[in-house]
Amino acid sequence: SNEGCINCVLLFLWIFICLQIILIYKIFKYVKKVSSQPKPLTKESYECQQNLSVAKITGFDSFPPEIKNMFYYGHCRNFPVLLDLPDKCGGAEESADIFLLLVIKTSPPNYDRREVLRKTWAEERLYNGVWIRRIFIAGTAGDSFEEERWNELLKAEHEKYNDILQWDIKDSFVNLTLKQTLFLKWMERKCLHVHFLLNGDDDVFANTDNMVEYLQSLDNDGSKHLFTGFVMGGGPIRDSWSKYFVPVEMYPSNSYPLYCSGGGYLLSVYTALIIHKMSQTIDLIPIDDVYMGMCLTKANLKPTHHMGVMTLGWNIPSSKLDRYDPCFFRNVLLVHRFFSANMYVMWKRIHDPNLKCACLNTQEQNV
């Protein structure tokens, strides 16, 4: 009948409206859930604005591109981590008690150097009852396909050795300071319970046995100031063709504070955290080791010289001796510009129990 049909249409209409209401409710709930989730940090979240007013600086146009870049973007201190080491220092429980953390500056193409260091002085091990651990700090290198390939290499190494911290910054001389500050920030968040750090290049020979013994001999467990290496001074180079060029507009004073050559220096975690704190209020300059000195000075701290650290090359006392004499290397702390190919044999030689070092016992003088 007609009435039945109208009822039937009304029923359908009723059911239809109910379904619509349910649907709208579900959509509303979904949108609410999605928008309340924390957003993953994308590259855009890190982007920071170019400082265009720097173009007004006198002589700005004549600066080399990397210095211009530093003026434009020097205030940008946040960059995404590409490879992280959340558990290197024990993770949330902070269980790993690391005595000496080796923080080695490397760039992606230096695969052979990293590989030999892992087998020699930077091997993660227990020495004299305390732990030595290793972290390579890296940025990116190359463009497009090349960059992808290097990133893949680091990722593969990371999966095998769990020893690479990588940020999305271009690895370049000028960017070393930025890399340093990124490391210190990472350390403050994820690795507070180490005692000492070796901060150095990937082309040095570091006698980590001697370093542990030296550090153990101090009246310092890492909770007091220590910053030691090859102390340097001097002042900024104002010639724009130089690798070390720093314009007056970036660093007005004509002398640098005392600092340790960046080839390698030892510091306590106490001092590392102070440097981190100071760095937040000091503009970056393109020379990373000087910058560390600036941070120390601001905190009224000084670096100390250690005779065992030879970052400007080394001299063997006699021409009758091999330049790579193991007795010499057994007694140093650190020597800069040491080629990978010599590293493996040297490390074996200095640990040879039959090694006789007659008249070259420089242990007392050097260490």
Ligand X SMILES: *[C@@H]1O[C@H](CO)[C@@H](O)[C@H](O)[C@H]1NC(C)=O
Nearer of residues 140 and 331 to ligand X, judged by Cβ: 140
CA distance 262 to 230: 9
Q: Which of these ranges, 53-61, 95-103, 202-210, 274-282, lies near ligand X under the rule CB under 6 A?
A: 53-61
Nearer of residues 231 and 284 to ligand X, judged by Cβ: 284
Give least dist CB 174 to ligand X, A: 4
Q: Could you please report the per-residue DSSP string of 143-187?
A: SHHHHHHHHHHHHHHHHHH--EEEEEEE--STTHHHHHHHHHHHH
Q: Can residue 69 be called a binding residue for ligand X (CB under 6 A)?
A: yes
Beta partners for 205? 335
Among 50, 60, 64, 66, binds ligand X (CB under 6 A): 66
What residues between 228 and 267 interact with ligand X by CB under 6 A?
none
What residues between 173 and 232 interact with ligand X by CB under 6 A?
174-175
* CA dihedral of 103, 231, 302, 271, whole degrees rounded to 10: 10
CA distance 2 to 7: 9
Give least dist CB 165 to ligand X, A: 15
Give least dist CB 80 to ligand X, A: 10
Nearer of residues 25 and 46 to ligand X, judged by Cβ: 46
Q: Which two tokens mark 302?
A: 């000084």
Q: Can residue 51 be called a binding residue for ligand X (CB under 6 A)?
A: yes
Q: Find where tokens 């005392």 sit.
A: 258
Give least dist CB 70 to ligand X, A: 7
Rounded to a whole number of angstroms, the CA Rg of the chain reads 28
Q: Can residue 45 be called a binding residue for ligand X (CB under 6 A)?
A: no
Among 133, 170, 276, 306, binds ligand X (CB under 6 A): 170
Angle at 262 between CA 257 and CA 265, to 5 degrees: 95
Q: Can residue 169 be called a binding residue for ligand X (CB under 6 A)?
A: yes
Q: Which of these ranges, 150-158, 168-176, 252-260, 288-296, lies near ligand X under the rule CB under 6 A?
A: 168-176
Give least dist CB 287 to ligand X, A: 13
Burial of 303 (0-12, 13-18, 19+ CB in 10 A): buried
Q: Can residue 166 be called a binding residue for ligand X (CB under 6 A)?
A: no
Give least dist CB 347 to ligand X, A: 33
Q: State the residue number with the nearest CB to ligand X.
A: 172
What residues between 98 and 157 interact with ligand X by CB under 6 A?
none
Q: Which two tokens mark 331?
A: 């007694």
Q: Which two tokens mark 197?
A: 């750090």
User: Within a 13 Å sphere around the CA of 297, how many CA atoms are in the beta-carbon half?
Assistant: 14
Determine the distance from the C-alpha atom of residue 276 to the mean position of all C-alpha atoms in its chain, rounded to a whole number: 12
Give least dist CB 149 to ligand X, A: 17
Nearer of residues 174 and 184 to ligand X, judged by Cβ: 174
Among 37, 53, 144, 315, binds ligand X (CB under 6 A): 53
CA distance 295 to 257: 9
Neighbour tally for 225: CB within 10 Å:
17
**Interface residue list for ligand X (CB under 6 A):** 51, 53-54, 57, 66, 69, 75, 169-170, 172, 174-175
